[in-house]
Amino acid sequence: MMEEKEHKDFQDSEYWATNAEQGGWSLASTDEGNQKMDIEEPQEELNIQMGKEVLDDYIGREEISSEDDRMIVNMGPQHPSTHGVLRLQVELEGEIVRRVKPVIGYLHTGMEKTGESLTYSQGCTNTTRMDYLAPLFNELVFSLTTEKLLNIEVPERAKQIRILMTELNRVTSHLVALATGGMDIGAISMMIFGFREREMILNFFEKTTGLRMNHNYIRPGGVAADLPDGWKKDIQEILEEIPKKLKDYDQMLLDNPIWNGRLRNVGILTTQECFDLGITGPSLRASGYEWDLRKVEPYSGIEKFNFDIPVLEDSDVFSRWRIKVLEIQESLKIIEQAMETMPKGDYRVDDKKVTPPPRKRLDESMEALIHHFKLFTEGFKVPEGEAYVAVESPRGELGCYIVSDGSSTPYKMHIRAPSFCNLQALPVIMSNSPIADAVASIASLDPVIGDVDR
């Protein structure tokens, strides 16, 4: 019966299998027959195949199997897609992740302890090494907290240089997030592209601060050096190039069916979960809640600039990827305005107790020599008190809590690291989804292990 029916199908259709017309061939025995495609694909099917509509999320089997079917697999700490030395204990049931436990501490170097023995002017060399993809933000938050305790106001130019540099840093950090995120999902070109564009900005950083990472450029009382000659030309080049490249990324990924299929409706993190777990930054904004410390708690005069906060509603991995692209565009707007309206003036605060004297003065003035000596041996004293200041780092709220006992080293220095807190979302977004989505979920949170372990 079966064979007859299939044979009839064969005769009616326009398809034919090799040698089938010679007779004696059962269509079911050939590969071609089994692969027969419909002549007209329904539009809904086509939409799914083209990635315009995504029906995912994977729904695992509901019935709970016995303990024997589960196994605990160790992922990391040397796994390349865990962005450093993150270790995950993953409980698997077949291919489905049932429970996750992040294990951290492999990069712990006791920076908060070290910070208690470094003076305030040395402190930035320490904090800059925490979040190594966004070092300038760490320097900024430490400097802002120290300045709040000292109760000093830095000059306008210093403020604007800080904004310019940190927003450039946000672009580099998001570019790395896009690049490594792309690599995790299999878009190797994205990895090359992201690091290529980042290099352009890192070259500018090297020109300005002397180093590509770990700059120690933003210091309590201002910045370490003025912008180099011809900085406007470099920034203009960056402002011309990056938007073009962003268009390239969009062309490659935005309507890409594989990219959409892998990312849409995967790793849902709702606004309420963000509130409960203390998750801020792009992940919170991708869940449809508008919250950015640059708007609600402005620092360094960022309230003067005209920019928007991108908010997306889907709260999945795709929107967490997309929001980073949109934030790069907004950051470029700020950079352009900061470049055009850069005020003239001093780049360090005019306070002899905080700012070391220029080299030339040391040969002329005894007082300058004494100040220089005191600042570099003992450091400046900070009045007693405690302060918490937060800035919007590329990963969320980056806070610094300093307790001063009146000496020249912090009595207690604590950094509220966004990556540390954001890692708590991993069990929420990874459980009950296939292990293939796990890597995409980790990449979407963009954890930096230096920031997690400190």
Partner 1 sequence: MEEQIYNIPADQLRSKVLELRNQGYEMLVDLTVVDWYRKRDDRFELVVNLLSLSKKKRARILSNISNEKLECESLTDIYPGANFYEREAFDMYGVIFSGHPDLTRILMPDDWVGHPLRKDFGLGKIPVQFKNAPKV
Question: Which stretches of the chain bind partner 1, using CB under 8 A?
Answer: 104-105, 108, 110, 112-114, 116-117, 275-280, 289, 291, 296-297, 388, 390, 397, 399, 401, 403, 405, 411-412, 414, 416, 420-421, 423-424, 453-454
In this complex, which beta carbon is closest to partner 1, that of residue 20 or of residue 390? 390
Token pair of 432, please? 């009950």
> What's the closest the beta carbon of residue 412 comes to partner 1, in angstroms?
5
> What's the closest the beta carbon of residue 311 comes to partner 1, in angstroms?
13
In this complex, which beta carbon is closest to partner 1, that of residue 279 or of residue 430? 279
> What's the closest the beta carbon of residue 84 comes to partner 1, in angstroms?
14
Q: How far is CA 96 from CA 48, 72, 179, 185, 440, in A?
A: 23, 12, 26, 18, 14
Q: Quick check: 317 and 267 in contact, CB under 8 A?
A: yes
> What's the closest the beta carbon of residue 296 comes to partner 1, in angstroms?
5
> What's the closest the beta carbon of residue 430 comes to partner 1, in angstroms?
16
Find, among 210, 215, 203, 209, the residue nearest to 127 by Cα. 215
Q: Are strands 412-416 and 396-404 parallel, antiparallel or unpaired?
A: antiparallel
Q: Are strands 96-103 and 433-434 parallel, antiparallel or unpaired?
A: antiparallel
Find, among 134, 164, 163, 171, the residue nearest to 329 by Cα. 171
Give the whole-angstrom CA distance, residue 401 versus residue 219.
16
Give the whole-angstrom CA distance, residue 92 versus residue 73.
7
- The helix or strand, by DSSP H or E, that contains position 416, with its residue range, turns out to be strand 412-416
How many CB atoms within 10 Å of residue 83? 23
Place of tokens 């900061």: 338
Q: Are strands 385-393 and 218-219 parallel, antiparallel or unpaired?
A: unpaired
> What's the closest the beta carbon of residue 447 comes to partner 1, in angstroms?
12
In this complex, which beta carbon is closest to partner 1, that of residue 125 or of residue 424? 424
In this complex, which beta carbon is closest to partner 1, that of residue 73 or of residue 296? 296
In this complex, which beta carbon is closest to partner 1, that of residue 36 or of residue 113? 113
> What's the closest the beta carbon of residue 110 comes to partner 1, in angstroms?
6
The distance in angstroms from the start CA to the end CA of the chain is 71
In this complex, which beta carbon is closest to partner 1, that of residue 26 or of residue 424? 424
In this complex, which beta carbon is closest to partner 1, that of residue 36 or of residue 108? 108
